[in-house]
């Protein structure tokens, strides 16, 4: 934590501004609460966070509020409209500050509750004072926070021995973001911005510019969602969100698996503010949670994910503001409740199961994922090719595609087939076998195959030129009716090049990669060969091949389950050791019984998962002539 202290003389205007805004927020938050004016309550909450962010940000926002109220006073616009009934307040609470502010300003302009004349005048007077102070503070160049930012940047460049070291700066507000960009640009630094109002294409361009040339990326919470910034390892939180979970999410942008450097994170906090006092109390409890309940792994993010559903952190801050002249007993009591709940979450094992538990059913290798992604891409390409269309990759976006759906006419944009690219862009669509588009496509193909299972194709392939025969595509499905099943396509080609039917394994192998096959016009006329004889030959050959594949798959499953069993035995031994440390005998015995039951259930399930069964079906027949 970088505690920033302001001088009573040099920084007097900033101190006066903070006090004026805090007084304004406190007074009118209580009034809005009595009127059940949730829009104003949310707005005031944003203003309080904003005044600690930058003078420019609070100046812009309070000026807009003042303008609306002065227009009401002059009867330019009419008050008296009610708050909409369909506002999703829980959803609004979950939004980043940038998006909250946009939505709240829209609501504030669409509903203006009738105000008493004295209340309206009182708020206008308070706002005029705040706006005047904010304007004066914005014009000055003695910004203690920005000066501290430059000091830290220089310190890191020296410490890392890298004058071109890259930095990520996070802020909650676009106006603060623009202010920082202008100041850094004036000093000769190259900067990029990412915020929630940018298009996906613009975010990618800015991210690539940061990677290639800019030294600073300045991002809002909304702008930073879903992006991977592992190539940078120094992050500065210019202002801090009140919800600690958002802070953990910011840090996760660079502190990911695969990060090759020690991540450096600096949190800016203004001294002698109500926010500092609240944060100190909460952070001390969270630090204790991290220290006492880690067991070698940082569980704080998981704990916070549960806590934020039960504790409204923004309300904790606002309560402390409203009651700031009272003693700190209420705040300490709230912090104690948070600590006790976190402790219970750990002790009652309410966190998500460890990865080894989840892995038993859902874990797949990266190779499997890549293979399925490739199949989804090939299916899409073949579908488009059949209709005379193409799959197009964006010029400057590796892994991102677009195409026109021939059946619906819909323009599909920012399509990806590999999930890793979703980290680079929020508004993209992953075409996997679970995507409705691919599922609908496969369903349509299945319907067509049921109507006509035999096609007549000319295939362009010089090395098989002159050969002809029947292609049979069988599908082998291997399942234990518990895990997601695996399937394998087994092509078999029966050649009639010599007049009599013979299974040609070389040509069958050629049809394993459908993506490289080039088909021309369909064969015209009657097929002069016995399809029943060909099918009999294919059935025998495919059954032998399917049997070999099945036992290979069954062996891999058995090996995988054996590895999992070793991991689980260690997992249960560790849990047993932890339970044995419980001092109360009846609780210890009950926990041991629960553990034994769970262990037995897992073993029974593992045995059921070993019982895999095959099914083999003929999916497609095609008469093929090579030209």
pLDDT digits (tens, 9 = 90+) for 365-386: 444 555 677 878 888 888 888 7
Q: How confident is the model at residue 362 (pLDDT cuts 50, 70, 90)?
A: very low
pLDDT digits (tens, 9 = 90+) for 419-457: 667 656 667 788 877 677 887 787 666 555 444 445 678
Question: What is the per-residue DSSP string for 117-137?
Answer: HHHHHHHHHHHHHHHHHHHHH
* Contact predicate 191/178, CB 8 Å: no
**Residues 376, 382, 386, 389, Cα dihedral to 10°:** 80
Q: How confident is the model at residue 21 (pLDDT cuts 50, 70, 90)?
A: very high
Q: How confident is the model at residue 22 (pLDDT cuts 50, 70, 90)?
A: very high
Q: How far is CA 163 from CA 145, 156, 620, in A?
A: 22, 9, 63
Quick one: pLDDT at residue 259? 59
Mean pLDDT of 497-509: 87
Quick one: pLDDT at residue 449? 45
Structural domains of the chain in order of their starting residue, each with its CATH number: 2-139 (no CATH), 143-269 (3.40.50.300), 357-450 (no CATH), 452-627 (no CATH)
Q: How far is CA 293 from CA 1, 72, 345, in A?
A: 22, 55, 10
pLDDT digits (tens, 9 = 90+) for 186-222: 888 999 999 888 877 788 888 888 888 899 999 988 7
pLDDT of 595 over the 60 cut: yes
Quick one: pLDDT at residue 514? 60
The owner of tokens 């593992």 is 606
Burial class (CB within 10 angstroms; exposed 0-12, middle 13-18, buried 19+) of 344: exposed
pLDDT of 128 over the 80 cut: yes
pLDDT digits (tens, 9 = 90+) for 34-46: 888 888 888 888 8
pLDDT of 185 over the 60 cut: yes
Quick one: pLDDT at residue 260? 66
Separation between Cα atoms, residue 65 and residue 220, nearest integer Å? 22
- H or E segment to which residue 269 belongs: strand 264-270
Q: Which of 120-124, 325-329, 473-477 has the lowest mean pLDDT?
A: 325-329
Quick one: pLDDT at residue 287? 78
What would the two tokens of residue 361 be?
């059913």
- Within 8 A by CB and 6+ apart from 219, the residues are 168, 169, 170, 171, 177, 193, 194, 195, 227
The per-residue pLDDT of the chain, averaged, comes to 79
Q: Where are the alpha helices (DSSP H) in 241-400?
A: 244-251, 274-292, 300-307, 313-322, 329-347, 355-362, 366-386
- Within 8 A by CB and 6+ apart from 601, the residues are none
pLDDT digits (tens, 9 = 90+) for 380-408: 888 888 778 899 999 888 889 999 998 88
Quick one: pLDDT at residue 351? 47
Mean pLDDT of 408-418: 88
Q: How confident is the model at residue 302 (pLDDT cuts 50, 70, 90)?
A: low
Q: How confident is the model at residue 76 (pLDDT cuts 50, 70, 90)?
A: low
pLDDT digits (tens, 9 = 90+) for 543-580: 988 988 888 888 888 888 888 888 788 878 878 887 88
Mean pLDDT of 525-530: 81
pLDDT digits (tens, 9 = 90+) for 224-279: 665 667 778 889 999 988 888 888 778 776 765 455 677 888 999 999 888 888 88
Separation between Cα atoms, residue 132 and residue 17, nearest integer Å? 9
* Residue 491 main-chain phi, psi, to 5 deg: -80, 145
Q: How far is CA 197 from CA 130, 447, 503, in A?
A: 28, 43, 60
Q: Is 69 strand, coil or helix?
A: helix
* Contact predicate 184/214, CB 8 Å: no
Q: In this structure, are strands 502-503 and 486-495 parallel, antiparallel, or unpaired?
A: antiparallel
The owner of tokens 């946009």 is 102
């Amino acid at each position: 934590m970088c505690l920033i202290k302001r001088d009573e003389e040099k920084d007097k205007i900033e101190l006066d501004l903070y006090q004026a805004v805090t007084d304004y927020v406190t007074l009118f938050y209580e009034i809005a609460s009595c009127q059940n004016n949730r829009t104003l309550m949310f707005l005031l909450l944003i203003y309080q966070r904003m005044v600690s962010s930058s003078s420019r940000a609070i100046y812009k926002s309070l000026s807009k509020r003042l303008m609306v109220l002065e227009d009401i006073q002059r009867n330019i616009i009419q008050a008296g409209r009610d708050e909409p009934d369909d506002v999703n307040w829980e959803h609004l609470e979950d939004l980043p500050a940038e998006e909250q502010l946009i939505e709240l300003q829209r609501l504030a302009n669409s509903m203006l509750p009738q105000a008493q004349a004295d209340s309206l005048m009182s708020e206008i007077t308070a706002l005029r004072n705040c706006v005047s102070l904010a304007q004066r503070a914005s014009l000055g160049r003695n910004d203690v926070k920005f000066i501290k930012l430059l000091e830290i940047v220089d310190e890191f460049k020296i410490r890392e021995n890298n004058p071109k070291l890259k930095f990520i700066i996070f802020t909650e507000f676009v106006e603060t973001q623009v202010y920082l960009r202008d100041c850094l640009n004036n000093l000769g630094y190259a900067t990029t911005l990412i915020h929630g109002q940018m298009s996906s294409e613009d975010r990618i361009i800015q991210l690539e510019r940061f990677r290639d040339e800019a030294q600073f990326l300045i991002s809002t919470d909304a702008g930073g969602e879903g992006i991977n910034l592992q190539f940078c390892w120094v992050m500065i939180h210019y202002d801090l969100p009140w919800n600690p979970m958002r802070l953990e999410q910011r840090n996760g942008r660079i502190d990911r698996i695969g990060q090759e450097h020690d991540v450096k994170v600096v949190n800016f906090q203004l001294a002698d503010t109500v926010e500092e006092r609240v944060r100190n109390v909460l952070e001390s409890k969270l630090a204790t949670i991290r220290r006492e309940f880690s067991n070698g792994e940082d569980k704080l993010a998981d704990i916070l994910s549960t806590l934020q559903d039960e504790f409204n952190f923004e309300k904790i801050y606002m309560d402390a503001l409203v009651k700031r002249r009272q003693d700190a007993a209420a705040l300490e009591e709230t912090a104690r409740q948070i600590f006790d709940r976190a402790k219970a979450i750990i002790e009652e094992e309410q966190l998500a199961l460890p990865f080894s538990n989840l892995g038993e059913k859902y874990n797949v290798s990266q190779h499997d994922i890549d293979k399925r992604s490739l199949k989804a891409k090939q299916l899409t390409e073949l579908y488009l090719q059949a209709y005379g269309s193409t799959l197009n990759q964006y010029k400057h976006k590796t892994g991102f595609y677009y195409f026109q759906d021939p059946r619906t006419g819909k323009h599909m944009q920012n399509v990806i087939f590999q999930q890793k690219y979703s980290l680079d862009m929020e508004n993209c669509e992953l075409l996997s076998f679970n995507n409705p588009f691919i599922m609908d496509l496969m369903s349509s193909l299945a319907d067509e195959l049921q109507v006509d299972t035999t096609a007549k194709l000319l295939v362009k392939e010089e090395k098989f030129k002159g050969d002809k025969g029947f292609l049979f595509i069988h599908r082998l499905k291997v399942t234990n009716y518990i895990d997601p099943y695996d399937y394998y396509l087994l092509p078999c080609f029966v050649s009639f090049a010599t007049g009599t039917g013979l299974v040609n394994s070389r040509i069958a192998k050629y049809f394993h990669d459908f993506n490289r096959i080039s088909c021309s016009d369909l064969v015209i006329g009657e097929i002069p060969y016995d399809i029943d004889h060909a099918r009999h030959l294919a059935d025998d050959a495919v059954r032998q091949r399917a049997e070999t594949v099945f036992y290979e798959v069954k062996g891999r499953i058995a090996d995988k389950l054996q590895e999992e069993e070793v991991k689980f035995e260690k997992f249960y031994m560790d849990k047993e050791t932890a339970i044995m440390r419980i001092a109360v005998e009846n609780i210890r015995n009950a926990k041991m019984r629960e553990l034994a039951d769970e262990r037995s259930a897992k073993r029974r399930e593992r045995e059921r998962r070993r019982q895999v069964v095959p099914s083999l079906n003929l999916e497609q027949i095609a008469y093929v002539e090579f030209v």
